[in-house]
Structure 1
């Protein structure tokens, strides 16, 4: 999450969303271990005040995948399916283990999540199993990164190769989102924290993919996932400066939350406009803040309509939690009966039946 998902100093990496080698044995309170700074969350695009929430409008862009090298292979090992969006979540509910939370959501929605989102620190052993994951769900592994030099020097090659073998041994198509939100200022792998070396990020991403390929991890679909806007909003930090290249990316992801009443179009159209002509789009982190009244269910309804009007969106991953310690907001969709009902309606629609 923007400005979040940061580990508290002194907290063992084994206690942070990896539980090395155990998969997601329990999600209870794990986000509470992450320090966050809400003041870092950018609410503007290039200095422009965030737009108020409004119904989505049709977007005039090139035809989806008009520039794709091979439209028949979009998405890699996790293929894009035209007209369908996989709906999943990062799921962490207070007082419930991960399997218990999965069961609750199944009962509420009448369906399982299609994407299971988990987070791992850079030194963690990546999962070769995820406890409680629905059988037909696709893992989305968000893997934190170090500063670029630890990779560029070759010092991390063995760690990367070991991670590749574990993901390979999952034995199922897996989405890997390495070093997300690199165009923000809040992570050590950001360009901001690496002397504005955007090319260094690109080289690191390509190196990881090469090592994974060398280790036979052909089940991995690579997700490149910037934040919805750049912070700082300077020319050197534009998101496209971090793009590794079409041959290295299977899905283009994006994170965005309506912290300041941003509309779905404000949050996601910059990425959609830039990349939907050649890559499937995945909204890898999204949640609706309750700004009072009916604002939460209204925003979910607008978001559902937005995705319906953007055919290149093939995946949506909700930040479904009430354990994030940086915000009083509970991002879980069922904080109000009305918001739960609208989310259930979205989840049951044909557009989200991927």
Structure 2
């Protein structure tokens, strides 16, 4: 079982506040001994960026395919039992198993619940930028890199996500608006991993679709470490009334010609009736019409400490049916 401490986001409790990515916990996960996307219709207003045809680093982008995965944490079930339930419901394992780790956690060499058909994505919490940039964390970073070398398997690394929001110590607002400091920290960690030989790590840069504060200096573009340091351009977003296009089109248009796109953390508030299954169906179609999207990772939980919202894919029978329809589409890798 996981021991989790809340890292932030009181905004989830207020339904009137536009939703950002649900954010996260300290993890002590035990470490045990071609089908093409649908074309974009002419005049549809959809993103027109020419998609990348390769990329992704150690976890490669496969044109015409989408890895569908999740962070699974279900009330009353262990992580392993929750992931097994989803395997039985969907008829296949999660293509991406997403877990959260704090800055000083020992990153996992292996996790028993990650099958050989799944790729692990680690969301690794950051400290203040100076703690990285002044060199005082170099040994910690090197040890983390060595753990990944020992892991051997291709692994997605999502360091210091949602840096363009104001509720994390690694966010620009908490670091004197120093977006360049974030870039320097990302590049330093990337360099140390490379020097340690952690070539099995694929780097996911992952802002939130909605910057807070919404000011020019805090735009996610100002945090981009550069093409040399990013394998996947990820974006997170939790919808209230926004459509997938309202949340993700701008990000897609900005990066799809340069990097494969990952929707790295996503879910939707259930506003009653068919709102949640309809949103999932819309998300399904949005992905199919955006061929640079190579991965999508659902926030599949009902245990978030500050939220009354049930983010699970099976919160209703209709929601589960919509999600299963997406999962069984040939575009999504089984």
TM-score for both structures, normalised by structure 1: 0.84
* Equivalent position to 2:251, from 271, 293, 298: 271
Say if 1:183 and 1:238, in contact at 8 Å, map to a contact too: yes
Structure 1, residues 72-121: CA drift from partner, whole Å, max 9, x if none?
4x000000000100000000001111111111111111011000101000
Given that 1:90 and 1:321 are in contact with CA atoms closer than 8 Å, whether structure 2 keeps it comes out as: yes
Task: Tell me, yes or no, if structure 1 residue 200 matches structure 2 residue 181.
Answer: yes
Aligned to 1:43: 18
Q: Can you list the C-alpha shifts for 1:40-61, whole angstroms capped at 9, x where unaligned? A: 996299xxxxxxxxxx955142
The equivalent of 1:12 in structure 2 is none
By how many angstroms is 1:245 displaced? Answer: 0.4
Q: Is residue 31–residue 325 contact of structure 1 (8 Å, CA) maintained in 2?
A: no
* 1:216 and 2:197 are equivalent in the alignment: yes
Q: Please, which of 315, 320, 323 is the counterpart of residue 340 of structure 1? A: 320
Residue 269 of structure 1 and its aligned partner are, at CA, apart by 1.1
* Aligned position for 2:146: 165
Gaps of 5+ in 1: 1-25, 46-55, 66-70
Q: Of the candidates 313, 336, 343, which is equivalent to residue 293 of structure 2?
A: 313
Determine the C-alpha separation between the residues in 2 that align with 1:35 and 1:236: 22
The change in CA–CA distance for 1:229 and 1:35 in structure 2 (over 3 A counts) is closer
Alignment partner of 2:269 out of 289, 292, 308: 289
Corresponding residue for residue 132 of structure 1? 113
Q: Give unmatched runs, 5+ long, in structure 2.
A: 21-40
Q: Size of the alignment, in residue pairs?
A: 310
The DSSP-based 3-state class of the residue aligned with 1:257 is strand
Partner of 2:206: 225
Q: What do you get for the CA RMSD once the two structures are aligned?
A: 1.9
User: Structure 2 vs 1, CA of residues 318 and 39 (structure 1 numbering), >3 Å: closer, same or farther?
Assistant: closer
Counterparts of 1:166 and 1:111, CA distance in 2: 28
Shift of the 352–39 alpha-carbon distance from structure 1 to 2, 3 Å rule, reads: closer
Partner deviation per Cα, 1:143-187 (whole Å, 9 max, x = no partner):
000001111110000000000010121110000000100011110
| TM-superposition CA deviations, 1:218-247 (whole Å, max 9, x none) | 000000000001111111111111000001
Distance change >3 Å, CA 228–CA 135, structure 1 → 2: same
Distance 1:103 1:221 in 2: 26
SS of residue paired to 2:89: helix
Cα 1:58/1:85, change in 2 over 3 Å: farther
Correspondences of 1:1-354 after superposition (within 5 Å): 26-27=1-2, 33-38=6-11, 43=18, 59-65=46-52, 71-72=53-54, 74-258=55-239, 260-353=240-333
